[in-house]
Amino acid sequence: MRLIHDDAVFSSKESPPLPPSLHVVLTRFNMALPAIRSQGDLVGEEAFGRYLRDRIPLFRSICLPSLRAQVQRPDRWLIGFDGATRPEIEPVIEQLKLEDWIIPVWQETKDGTPENASQTFGRAISALLRPDDQWVLTSRVDNDDALGRTYCRATRAYAGAVVASSPELDDFWISFPFGVQFNGSKPLLYTRNNNAFLTRCEARGRFEAGTGGGCLQSNHAHVFQKGAVFLPITEDPMWLQAVHSSNILNSEKAHLIPLRNTRAVLKKFGIEKAEIESAESRWN
């Protein structure tokens, strides 16, 4: 099955392998992000606790299954937590203990100020680097969204083609434009080239020198201001953006094309329709 359509960079017949690399998926679960919390009116302890209780069923029915279903899993999935609200997310922590490739990372606070999420993840990534790793790939997904089952494989394949064709680049981004928006009942075709499912590819030296910083170092909407961006066209949608009652920033987009077979679309993300229906109250 063809994952990526051929273009000026990638050829399905001559796709050079990516040099030894560390590929990590990053998710900010309940990290202290003051700007986002204020936008969503989640500053108070009670409001944020309610938000987390709504998010956990969505994480279990959408995000977690999609990463488990990857045809080629990332080396690690790092999930960022803030210890201040640990009681609310303790069930998630306990569940993740059974998954040795999923690592909880904890945001540190100094003088009452939480560190930036990219610092938290950067520290964890540095500890994971192996002696022969030449590249660091970081992909992002929110805790209520999903990645297509072939996302990680397609990312590594396309990154290998870029490294081979443009050896002068030591920092570049991959953005799959083809995705889906899902409101709990119907999937809609959604294309966006600066979506929130970016991968950043950094040469190890650049990452370790601190001149990189991973995919969370800047706002995804401004990715085209950050350097080289590649837009592979894929056979299947590579990401699913959920729209539901506890969203802070996402909203349902008008004039998107409905996709006919909901069950078949969800399976491309490793999601079972029955699991979605069990979390139905969270969508309204």
Domains in the chain, start-ordered, CATH in brackets?
A: 21-283 (3.90.550)
pLDDT of res. 221: 85
Whether pLDDT at 284 is above 60:
no
* Cα dihedral sign, 58-53-254-26: negative
Average pLDDT on 60-76 reads 97
For the cut 80, the answer to whether the pLDDT of residue 277 exceeds it is: no
pLDDT value, residue 206: 93
Radius of gyration of the chain, Cα coordinates, nearest whole angstrom: 18
Percent of the chain whose predicted confidence (pLDDT) is above 70:
87
Q: Is the confidence at residue 234, as pLDDT, over 90?
A: yes
Average pLDDT of the segment spanning 35-58: 68
Q: How confident is the model at residue 217 (pLDDT cuts 50, 70, 90)?
A: confident
| pLDDT tier, 95 (very low <50, low <70, confident <90, very high otherwise) | very high
d(CA 242, CA 58): 9
| 242: helix, strand or coil | strand
Higher pLDDT, 45 or 260: 260
24-38, 74-88, 181-195, 231-245: range with lowest mean pLDDT: 24-38
Query: What is the value of pTM for the model shown?
Result: 0.91
Instruction: Please give the pLDDT value at position 280.
Output: 55
pLDDT bin (cut points 50, 70, 90) of residue 170 is very high
pLDDT score of 43 = 52
Segment 205-210 shows an average pLDDT of 91
Average pLDDT over residues 14-24: 95
The H-or-E segment that residue 123 falls in is helix 117-128
Burial track 217-236 (b if 16+ CB lie within 10 A, e otherwise): bbebeebeebeebbebebeb
Lowest mean pLDDT among 8-12, 31-35, 145-149: 31-35
